[in-house]
Amino acid sequence: MKISTRRRGYCGIPVFLPLLFLPWPAFSQSFNDPGDPPALARTITAAMSDEEALAQTFMLGWVGAEPSPLIMNWIRERHIGGVKIFGWNTGDTRKLAETVGTLQRSSLEGPFRIPLLVATDQEGGWIRHVKGATSETPGNMAIGASGYPRDAYLSGYYIGRELALLGINMNFAPTVDLYTNQASVIIGPRAFGDDPVRAGILGAAFMKGQGAAGIIATAKHYPGHGGTDLDSHGILPRIDVSFETLWNRELTPYRMLAKEGLPAVMSGHLAFPKTQAGPLPASLSSWFLKTLLREQIGFQGLIITDDLMMSGATSSAGTLSRAAKQALLAGNDIIMMSSTPNLNDAVWAYLAASMKEEPEFRERIRDAARRILELKLEYLRGERAVPPVPDLKRVEAELPDPEGAAFFLGLAARSVTVIRGNTGIFPLSPEKAGRILLAGQFSGFFSAGKAAYPEAASCWYSPDRPEELIRRAGNADTVIFCLADAPGLAILRRLRYLDKRVIVLSVLSPAYLDEVSWTAGAVAVYSYAPESFIAAFSAMLGRIPARGRLPLGSVRQVP
């Protein structure tokens, strides 16, 4: 439709009328227009400029509790599609909610009134980027130990409900990596265990729980980070497994979740050189993302890179700009960066120029923008949608979630696992234990331990100075040792020849327990949340049954 401002006068002389006096129809579409998500997403994308479409593929982090001027410029001037909240943004929960509201208000003032995807890593357990007043939870491996899909569903639901209060609408969870390499300190208790089918079942339940809270679930780290002890933040890990192994092991959870309507996947900076991708990281491989994930597995949702500023991505591509372009061409829809580049940084200039010069790249960006908008339209509108601007009164009144607190304590109790104790050591009453020494490195361990054994002595051990612990253990009848890592294992071994009763309370990964089979008893929990320590000591005292089953086939459980 063409609007002309020129009309003929009575004598046929052209008269130019000011635009003010003419009706001017609104051509731009709005995010809130009626219509189903696929159709409206196509319409809005078609109305976008190339740079507006490109901006939707950017998800950026920033430093500080308040929005930086630079991140605000990216939202106001570039109209980016999303922001990522990291732990350094989240010390003050109320401040975080205010910040999210500020970011979203600016985004909603832009063309098409499109809200931001506001994402974080709130896996539960060990990985909890949004701290402050949010719940500490037992984590994925505790869910694996309980074995109940309902525990996975409600974990996702209550974590999601807290995020929704803060205006966070996307969570990079569930983690469906398998704990196949137990030398890894990267995955560990972030996994549901080492069984691929169980991980798929529990991951799907967690995903659906988050969806019930209005949160966009994102499974990670595709195609699987559990087979390496290397960290892709600093290096590109190589996992030397065949395609057959990969398909039947690491990819099983993704195959299951894709059939259940998984909304998003995070691609990992991981190389599988024995597959057709060769030495390329999966995050930059069209074979992994298009051929395998889209075509063979049938995944229809968004694909988001892990942080592109990690060495696992840039070491392969050479520069951040090339990594970003390669990631988008390979099939990622969103490129995520943990810090905020300058507005005219090389990465933006390079991608914008590539859109002008390369029709194939331009089409790929427009397809990605359409997918992003379709997901936003599906999840960020309607009654179930997370409000873009948080209600600060509700934030203060409802965090931590009181129903969630009761549930997570119950989950901790259901997941307590007795690994060893077949000599009648449990229940361990104060009278049976005699003089007790609590040895650990977590305040929650000592508070729960003193509540269980009020007369116990306490020793906060240091891996650098173990002599104090050895000396004090000599005066105890029973040492209850909190084991969480390899340095702790080295100290624990030094207690072996003291002729004392040693009880291990394992937190996080239980993989170290096979190396201390000489101990009198061992109990495993899977996080350092206060609820986990309370449940562990309650099981030691016999106040609750320890019914958890170890979700690792390689560690022997002989209760």
Torsional class of 70: left (φ above 0), alpha (ψ -120 to 50), beta (otherwise): alpha
Position 131, amino acid: K
> Roughly how many angstroms between the first and final C-alpha of the chain, as a whole number?
77
Q: What is the CA radius of gyration of the chain?
A: 27
Cα–Cα distances (Å) from 433 to 44, 197, 200, 451, 503, in that order, read 69, 41, 42, 15, 10
Place of tokens 């929650």: 444
Q: 3-state DSSP: the chain helix, strand, coil percent, rounded to 5?
A: 45, 15, 40
Cα distance between residue 65 and residue 91, in whole Å = 7
Q: Concatenated DSSP letters for 24-72?
A: ----S--TTSSS-HHHHHHHHHHHS-HHHHHHHTEEE--SSSSPPHHHH
Cα distance between residue 390 and residue 166, in whole Å = 6
Question: For 266, phi and psi rounded to 5 degrees?
Answer: -100, 125
Sheet arrangement for strand 264-267: 302-305, 264-267, 216-222, 170-171, 117-120, 82-85, 58-60, 335-337
Closest CA to 281 of 326, 219, 342, 335: 326
Contact of 453 with 543, CB cutoff 8 Å? no
Q: 50, 92, 231, 233: which one is catalytic?
A: 233
306 part of the active site: yes
Cα–Cα distances (Å) from 37 to 98, 367, 377, in that order, read 29, 14, 5
79 part of the active site: no
Distance of CA 24 to the CA centre of its chain: 46
Q: 121, 177, 195, 306: which one is catalytic?
A: 306
Cα distance between residue 449 and residue 457, in whole Å = 10
Is the backbone peptide bond immediately before 223 cis, with ω within 30 degrees of 0? yes
Mapped onto helix, strand or coil, the DSSP state of residue 362 is helix
Cα distance between residue 266 and residue 302, in whole Å = 8
Q: Which residues pair with 334 in a beta bridge?
A: 304
Tokens for 4, please give them: 């002309």
Torsional class of 7: left (φ above 0), alpha (ψ -120 to 50), beta (otherwise): beta
- How many Cβ atoms from other residues are within 10 Å of residue 42's Cβ? 14
Closest CA to 432 of 478, 476, 399, 389: 478
The DSSP symbol for 332 reads -
Catalytic annotation, residues: 233, 306
